Structure formats: C-alpha cells, structure tokens
Amino acid sequence: MNKQAIRVEPLSTYAEARKVPVSMAVRCGDLVFVSNIPPYDPATKRQAEIVLEQMKLCLTTAGSSLDKVIKCTVYCTDAVHVQAINSVYARYFPSSPPARSFICVSAWHGPFDVEIDCVATI
C-alpha cells in the first residue's frame, strides 16, 4: 500500500514554520491517520473544541469525516480536565463514539493541555 502525506492548511504551514517534522494526516489504503494536534489558539480556553475542529479539518481534507473515526487517543496534562474534555468530545461524537484512550502526560513545550489523534476510514 502506498502512503500519502496530506497537507492541511493552515496547520501544515504552521508546523513547517516551527520546523516540526510531521504530516498532519497520512492516508494509507482505506485508512487516515491524523497526528495529535495541539490547539493553535490555546488562549481561548476552548482547547478541546479547537483540537477537534482541527482534527475534523484534517479528516475532511484527507477524504474522511468524524463519523468515520474508529479510534482516538486523548493526551492531557492533568486528569482534572477529563470532564471538560468529555463534554466537548461528546458533542463531536454524539452517538456510537469511536474507541478511545485517555493518557495523562507531562507538560509540553507549548501553553496547552490537550492533544488528540485519531484513525479513521475513508
């Protein structure tokens, strides 16, 4: 199978400007892999919503959608955010949510608390 890196603007340009060697999304066969994406506007305090909107953009650009997501992994700096993230997450996946892992991690290099990645079908 051939893999295809998908440019997702403005996210790809943002990562390149910061010298981050990452593809926002990669399509391989009938699957789309979306990189864990930080919220590019963390000051709004709507981090989970921003991340999920960016994930939605990546999926759409790659020819998929949120309703085709089969697995997500949520990375968060503190378990205190679980309920807030769950309430936003439930709006994006209102029925038959994908499989999900929630992993607490150390702080990142940026001023944000959450990243989410996913795998979806085409």
Q: What is the full DSSP assignment across 63-75? A: T--GGGEEEEEEE
* pLDDT(35) > 60: yes
Please, which pLDDT band fits residue 110 given cuts at 50, 70 and 90? confident
Stated pTM of the model: 0.89
Mean pLDDT of 15-24: 91
Nearest to 100 by CA among 74, 82, 121, 76: 74
* pLDDT(45) > 80: no
| DSSP letter (8 states) at residue 98 | P
Please, which pLDDT band fits residue 41 given cuts at 50, 70 and 90? low
Distance (Å, rounded) from C-alpha 100 to C-alpha 14?
A: 27
